[in-house]
Each structure stands twice: as structure tokens, then as C-alpha cells.
């Protein structure tokens, strides 16, 4: 059983020890056995193992093989090796200390094949310190894993790819690991591209990067890959890798992690013909730095055709829980062909029938419709059969078009099909981001779907829809018409979702000497902190924040009146 007193004693001993270490570091060696004795009396869950190892590392920066063996005996349950590895890496002690841990785990028979595979990612962190023996260890581990297992999961393949990326056999091993993956995953082309950039094989790198982007479809590549491209640009400045990266980001509607954006900003500002600044883009689409207005970017005819075909394939889903009635798609297409023109499609079931925040969804519908009517929109409401005949909806949508799908049908495909086929200016009003729908789309259509969604979906402010925020621009990478300015959206390092930028990188290219000398006046430097950016400028984040205020309010009616004046 867990002993709370032991936890308190451990904490007090740690504090006392740190004070003693400030006086005499020689006490470290004498104190270590006492720490082990205390740890023996503590309930050692995975979390406790991690904390125990981390605390001992705080006390003694380097452990000998015997120290690690002593610690492994204390924490001898399953999972010690991985928790010790994680705690050690979090302290960034260097490759030598990691090898000592490996030796101790090997002597105690704790160094399993899976753990060896998972730890290979560290060799990428300490690439400059790797020796020929380290490269041999990496390749031997990969061979051992591939010989033992016929199929590999992404969480095993990813650290193996990080490891082989530092060896000369990177291409051969990357292709082998990719062929053994149990499911399609972007990690293979992403990390293959990372290795290729490191080794200067740029044609192969861009080819793999395009495969990864096509699979991801509008969501970001891993931050390590972006960092790898920046590092390669520094090593090979004549290859124009940054310009190619910008074109790639624009083509696939990607965003930059903030740490990569800071590296790029530093590099670009050293160029006499370039000025880079962090900025925000308001709801109207204007950049706070250069004052340019970003555009709403429509789909090309090829993208639209591809997207409509992929949506049609979703109607073919036929299982017990997701079915479409025979002939319903044909009926729906005929309806769209014969219906009057519309500029807004409303996801009725999503927006108005989740009533946990309101007891009167029809009043909400009336307010939303009035807002859209005032802006000159013609509305198509898509709902389900059980909504038909509701007197509230009949009165609200009496001057607009309505269509009700069968209750057993999955209405997402109808809603998206209607909105995409409606024309380049047709908007979709829904609080659903269609993540499940997106995950099941064909790989080749994902990027087009995300691009369309970012430009055309309107997020209602919660289920009350008190203040619709219509998209005035596409929050994706954009060049100015003359090519002199580039705006790249920025997201947190931990986020791979490009839905709501936390900031923008505003890049002015081909500036004159006079403009460069006056750049601090023309384009003022703004302190940038991704955590402190005012997120109301992104229309989706604005909607989310208003929804949170509504749902946390105790008085629903009073909340609506106050929120009408938001923004």
C-alpha cells in the first residue's frame, strides 16, 4: 500500500539534500544509498518511478553503472527501464549517461527489444556525439526488430526512423521500415524526408515531403521536420530551401510551429533584401504589420471536382449503423438541381438541437437567420426527418429552402456536398468541425477539403449562435499579387492543427536599402509570445471563446444580451 509518510519523508530528504549539496558536493555519494532506502518504501507506480529517478538525478548529475543497477533493483517492476529513460532524457545529460543506463539495464535483463527500439530517437538528439559504434548499435537494433517482428506499429517505427536517420544506411532502412508498417501513417515519409535533408538528398527529401503532406491533408508535418529544413538551409544556403519551403507551405495550406518561425525570422532579417515580422491578422483579414488584407482563396475547378467525387464516395458507406437509403442521393441531387440559389447551408441538427445551453432553440434559430438575412444571404437548412413539422422551424425558415434527410442517414455528407456544390461563395454554418468525416476521406482530397473548410465554414457562437463571425479571409499561407509579401500562419509547437493560427509571420521581400534602413518604422517590431497573443482575431477562436462564456454563464438570457455586443 502507498505510504503517505514515506512520500513526505522523501520530499523533506530531497530538500535537505539540495541544501547540503550547496555546501559540500562530496555528500552526494554518501547520500545516494539513503535515497534508495527511502524509495524502497514508496508505492512505485509508473509515475512514482519517474519521479524517483528524476529526483535522484537532481541530487547526482551522473550515475555509475552500479548506481543504476541499485536503482533498478529498487524499481524492479515492469516499465522501470522506459520511465528511467524518459526521466534521464528530460535532464538532457548527454549520450554518455544514456549508455551507462543501457549497460545497467542490460546487466539486469531490463533492456528489452522494444525499449531499445524506443530509445533510438535519442541518437538524433546527440547526433554530433555519435560514433561508428553507435551507428552499429542503431543498425543492429533495427535488424533485430525487423527480424523478430513481421509487422510494426507507428509508435515503434518512429523512434527507429529517428535513429537510422543519422546513419549512412538511412534510405535503405527507411524504406524497409515503411514496408513493415501495420497501417498508413505520415511518420515514414516525414522522417525519411528529415533524414534526406540531413544527408543532402534534396530531390528525395521533397518527394517524401509531398507524400507526407498529401497524407496529412492540411494538418502540419512534425516540428522536427521543419527544424531539419532550416538546419539544411544553413548548411546549404545556395539550395534555396527556405523559398521552396514557403511554396510548399502555401501549396498544402500548412502552418509553422512557433519555434521554427522564430528561427526563420532570425535568418530572414539578416538578408539585406528581406524584412520579417511577427504579426496578427484581424477578423477583417488585415495584417497588423504591413496592413495588407488577406484574401479568401477559393478551390480550383480540379480541387472542387475531386472533393465532390470524394464526398459522393461517402454515400456508399453501408453498415449496420451508418446507412443511406437507396435512391436518396439521387433524390438529393435532383433537389439541388431544381432548388433556387442559396448562399448559406445550415447544419440544423448540429446548431439548434443540442439544447443543454438553451431551452428555446427556435429563438436561437430566429436570431441566426435574422443575422444572415441582414447580410443578404439565402439559406438552405439541412435537417433530419424528426425535425420536420416543428412549428418553430416552420416559422423561422418559411422564406428559405429546407431539406430533411432520413433519420438513419449520416447527414454530414449531404451537408458538405450541398455547401461545396453551391458555389465558391456558399458558406456552411455549423459547430461541427467534421473531424471524423475528414479522417475517412480519401487521402488525395483531404488538403482540398481543409482548404475549403477554412475559407467557408462559419462557426456559430455556441448553441446560442448570438454573434456569427463570417470568414472574411482564408487563414492559410498567402502571397501578395506582386509576390513581394508573404503571410504564414503560426501555431504552437505542440499543435499540428492549422485551423486557428496563434499568430502570423509577415515577410516583406525584395525591399530596397532605404526600406531596410527604415524597416523598424515601416514594419514595427512587435513582441511575440504565442501564449499571450489575442486569439480573438481568428474567427474560429473567437467563436470558441464566446461559446465558453455562454456555457459558463449562470443566467443564460442575460448572457445572450451581453454577448451581442462582443467584438
For residue 439, tell me if it sits in a domain: yes
Number of domains the chain contains = 1
Residues in CB range of 541: below 8 A, 6 or more apart: 500, 535
Q: What is the pLDDT of residue 24?
A: 44
Q: What is the pLDDT of residue 408?
A: 74
Q: What is the pLDDT of residue 316?
A: 58
Q: What is the pLDDT of residue 541?
A: 54
Sheet holding 344-347, edge to edge: 401-405, 379-384, 344-347, 427-429, 457-458
Check residue 505 and give left, alpha or beta (phi > 0: left; psi -120 to 50: alpha). beta
For residue 352, tell me if it sits in a domain: yes
Sign of CA dihedral 350, 353, 357, 363: positive
For residue 490, tell me if it sits in a domain: no
**What's the CATH code of the domain at 401?**
3.40.50.11980
Q: Name the H helices within 428-523.
A: 435-439, 446-456, 513-517, 519-522
For residue 356, tell me if it sits in a domain: yes
For residue 261, give the C-alpha cell: 518561425
Within 10 angstroms of residue 272's Cβ, the number of other Cβ atoms is 10
Euclidean distance between CA atoms 422 and 343, whole angstroms: 7
Distances (CA, A) of 115 to 72, 179, 306, 526: 15, 22, 43, 45
For residue 49, give the C-alpha cell: 518511478
Q: What is the pLDDT of residue 44?
A: 47
Residue listed under C-alpha cell 454530414: 412
Within 10 angstroms of residue 5's Cβ, the number of other Cβ atoms is 8
Find the domain containing 323 and state its range. Answer: 301-458
For residue 230, give the C-alpha cell: 532550416
CA 56 to chain centre: 34
For residue 472, tell me if it sits in a domain: no
Euclidean distance between CA atoms 542 and 539, whole angstroms: 5
Using alpha carbons only, give the angle 357, 361, 362 rounded to the nearest 5 degrees: 160
Residues in CB range of 566: below 8 A, 6 or more apart: 461, 467, 546
Within 10 angstroms of residue 318's Cβ, the number of other Cβ atoms is 8
Q: What is the pLDDT of residue 20?
A: 46
Sign of CA dihedral 476, 479, 481, 485: positive
Nearest to 488 by CA among 161, 246, 224: 246
For residue 334, tell me if it sits in a domain: yes
For residue 433, tell me if it sits in a domain: yes
Residue 504 · residue 490 · CB < 8 Å? yes
For residue 500, tell me if it sits in a domain: no
- Give 10-residue mean pLDDT values along the chain (567 residues): 46 51 44 47 60 78 83 74 84 83 84 87 86 92 92 90 93 93 86 94 95 81 91 93 94 89 94 93 86 90 88 63 62 89 87 54 74 88 81 77 82 89 87 78 82 81 51 87 91 72 91 91 79 42 52 48 40
Distances (CA, A) of 38 to 31, 34, 230: 11, 6, 47
Amino acid at each position: 500500500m502507498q505510504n503517505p509518510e514515506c512520500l513526505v519523508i522523501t520530499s523533506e530528504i530531497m530538500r535537505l539534500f539540495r541544501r547540503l549539496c550547496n555546501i559540500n558536493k562530496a555528500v552526494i555519494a554518501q547520500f545516494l544509498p539513503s535515497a534508495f532506502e527511502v524509495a524502497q518504501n514508496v508505492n512505485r507506480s509508473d509515475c512514482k518511478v519517474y519521479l524517483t529517478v528524476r529526483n535522484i538525478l537532481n541530487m547526482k548529475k551522473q550515475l555509475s553503472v552500479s548506481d543504476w543497477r541499485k536503482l533498478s533493483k529498487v524499481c524492479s517492476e515492469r516499465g522501470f527501464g522506459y520511465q528511467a529513460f524518459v526521466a534521464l532524457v528530460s535532464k538532457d545529460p548527454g549520450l554518455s549517461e544514456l549508455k551507462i543506463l543501457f549497460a545497467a539495464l542490460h546487466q539486469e535483463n531490463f533492456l528489452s527489444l522494444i525499449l531499445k527500439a524506443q530509445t533510438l530517437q535519442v541518437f538524433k538528439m546527440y547526433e554530433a556525439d555519435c560514433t561508428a559504434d553507435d551507428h552499429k548499435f542503431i543498425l543492429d537494433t533495427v535488424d533485430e526488430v525487423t527480424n523478430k517482428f513481421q509487422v510494426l506499429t507507428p509508435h515503434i517505427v518512429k523512434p527507429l526512423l529517428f535513429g537510422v536517420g543519422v546513419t549512412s544506411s538511412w534510405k535503405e532502412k527507411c524504406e524497409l521500415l515503411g514496408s513493415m508498417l501495420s497501417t498508413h501513417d505520415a511518420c515514414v515519409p516525414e522522417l525519411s524526408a528529415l533524414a534526406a535533408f540531413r544527408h543532402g538528398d534534396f530531390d528525395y527529401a521533397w518527394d517524401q515531403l509531398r507524400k507526407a503532406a498529401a497524407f496529412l491533408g492540411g494538418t502540419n508535418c512534425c516540428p522536427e521536420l521543419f527544424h531539419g529544413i532550416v538546419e539544411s538551409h544553413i548548411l546549404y544556403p545556395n539550395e534555396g530551401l527556405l523559398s521552396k519551403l514557403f511554396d510548399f507551405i502555401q501549396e498544402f495550406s500548412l502552418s509553422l510551429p512557433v519555434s521554427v518561425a522564430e528561427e526563420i525570422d532570425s535568418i530572414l532579417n539578416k538578408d539585406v533584401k528581406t524584412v520579417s515580422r511577427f504579426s496578427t491578422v484581424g477578423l477583417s483579414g488585415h495584417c497588423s504589420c504591413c496592413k495588407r488584407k488577406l484574401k479568401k482563396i477559393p478551390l480550383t475547378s480540379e480541387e472542387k471536382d475531386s472533393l465532390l467525387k470524394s464526398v459522393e464516395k461517402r454515400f456508399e458507406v453501408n453498415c449496420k449503423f451508418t446507412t443511406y437509403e437507396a435512391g436518396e442521393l439521387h433524390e438529393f441531387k435532383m433537389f439541388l438541381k431544381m432548388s433556387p440559389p442559396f448562399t448559406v447551408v445550415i447544419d440544423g441538427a448540429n446548431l439548434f438541437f443540442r439544447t443543454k445551453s438553451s431551452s428555446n432553440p427556435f429563438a436561437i434559430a430566429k436570431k441566426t437567420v435574422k443575422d444572415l438575412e441582414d447580410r443578404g444571404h439565402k439559406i438552405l437548412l439541412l435537417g433530419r426527418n424528426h425535425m420536420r413539422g416543428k412549428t418553430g422551424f416552420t416559422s423561422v425558415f418559411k422564406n428559405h429552402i429546407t431539406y430533411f434527410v432520413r433519420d438513419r442517414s449520416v447527414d454530414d455528407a449531404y451537408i458538405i456536398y450541398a455547401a461545396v456544390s453551391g458555389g465558391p461563395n456558399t458558406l456552411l454554418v455549423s459547430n461541427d468541425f467534421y473531424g471524423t468525416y475528414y479522417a475517412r476521406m480519401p487521402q488525395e482530397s483531404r488538403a482540398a477539403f481543409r482548404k475549403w473548410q477554412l475559407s467557408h465554414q462559419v462557426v456559430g457562437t455556441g448553441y446560442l449562435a448570438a454573434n456569427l463571425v463570417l470568414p472574411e479571409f482564408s487563414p492559410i499561407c498567402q502571397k501578395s499579387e506582386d509576390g513581394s509579401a508573404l503571410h504564414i500562419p503560426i501555431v504552437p509547437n505542440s499543435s499540428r492543427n492549422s485551423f486557428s493560427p496563434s499568430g502570423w509571420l509577415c515577410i516583406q521581400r525584395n525591399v530596397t536599402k532605404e526600406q531596410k534602413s527604415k524597416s523598424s518604422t515601416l514594419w514595427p517590431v512587435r513582441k511575440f509570445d504565442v501564449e499571450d497573443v489575442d486569439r480573438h482575431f481568428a474567427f474560429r477562436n473567437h467563436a470558441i471563446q464566446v461559446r465558453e462564456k455562454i456555457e459558463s454563464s449562470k443566467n443564460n438570457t442575460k448572457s445572450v444580451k451581453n454577448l451581442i455586443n462582443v467584438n
